[in-house]
Chains A and B, each alone.
Chain A
Amino acid sequence: NAGVTQTPKFQVLKTGQSMTLQCAQDMNHNSMYWYRQDPGMGLRLIYYSASEGTTDKGEVPNGYNVSRLNKREFSLRLESAAPSQTSVYFCASNIGTGDQPQHFGDGTRLSIL
């Protein structure tokens, strides 16, 4: 039972480099989400995809782009990484109706020097 799989688990980038974080779920969920978590803080929503073919901005979208490649996969791209984007990134998914719990991956730890 893989659930939500994120790759890579760790990454170090230099300022200005680009990178794509990958997320895949095998639960046939309609909705997928990207969050970031800074030290000692709660999670903040970056982007979400309510269903295949749609994406929308969350609370902190600046500096990021997303692609809902198909129902299973939702990627997050940093076009020009900045030190302020050093964080742990979590992907989540759920069925998509209002009260269904979200299932989270184990995160990608990203450091930008």
Chain B
Amino acid sequence: LAKTTQPISMDSYEGQEVNITCSHNNIATNDYITWYQQFPSQGPRFIIQGYKTKVTNEVASLFIPADRKSSTLSLPRVSLSDTAVYYCLVGDMWGRGFQKLVFGTGTRLLVSP
């Protein structure tokens, strides 16, 4: 699985848009990009995933350029409750009966008033 690189930490203020970029230079054809969020004392929670172009759901957008060597998680109008660690991961779309994910250290997002 491709290794991912993302910023260790980011700071923002309430109401701002936050973009977290992840690098995955060695992504394979069968790989997809997935993002998880983790609050203190909780397990990670799935946010969004995609293979190419743009994916949007009720909480975030994911932008993936044509070469797929990076991706950007966009959180619109963050609030204090978005303070968490965000993990960018690459998964094998054709995983044979299981999903092997490799978690890095993630990006620690701090949202201030």
Contact = CB atoms under 8 A, between A and B. Distances in A.
Interface of A: 4, 30-31, 33, 35, 40-45, 48-51, 56, 58-59, 90, 92, 94, 96-107
A101 B43 contact: no
Given A104-B43, A104-B45, 14 more contacts: A31-B97, A42-B104, A48-B98, A50-B96, A92-B43, A96-B97, A98-B99, A99-B32, A99-B91, A100-B99, A102-B46, A102-B101, A104-B42, A107-B43
Contacts of B106: 42
A42 B31 CA distance: 20
B34 interface: yes
Contacts, number: 74
A50 B42 contact: no
Contact of B46 (A44, A90, A103): A103
Contacts of B34: 99, 101
In the A-B complex, list the 3 residue pairs whose CB atoms are closest, starting with the nearest: A104-B43, A42-B103, A98-B95
Nearest to A90: B43
A109 B106 CA distance: 20
Majority secondary structure, B binding face = loop
Contact of A51 (B43, B91, B97, B100): B97
A102 to B, nearest CB: 6
B94 A43 contact: no
25 contacts: A40-B105, A42-B87, A42-B104, A45-B100, A49-B98, A59-B102, A90-B44, A96-B97, A97-B97, A98-B92, A98-B94, A98-B96, A99-B32, A99-B34, A99-B49, A99-B91, A99-B99, A100-B99, A101-B49, A102-B44, A102-B99, A102-B101, A104-B45, A106-B42, A106-B43
B93 interface: yes
A110 to B, nearest CB: 14
Interface in B10-41: 32, 34, 41
A58 B99 CA distance: 11
Contact of B99 (A31, A42, A43, A107): A31
Interface string B73-109: 0000000000000010001111111111111111000
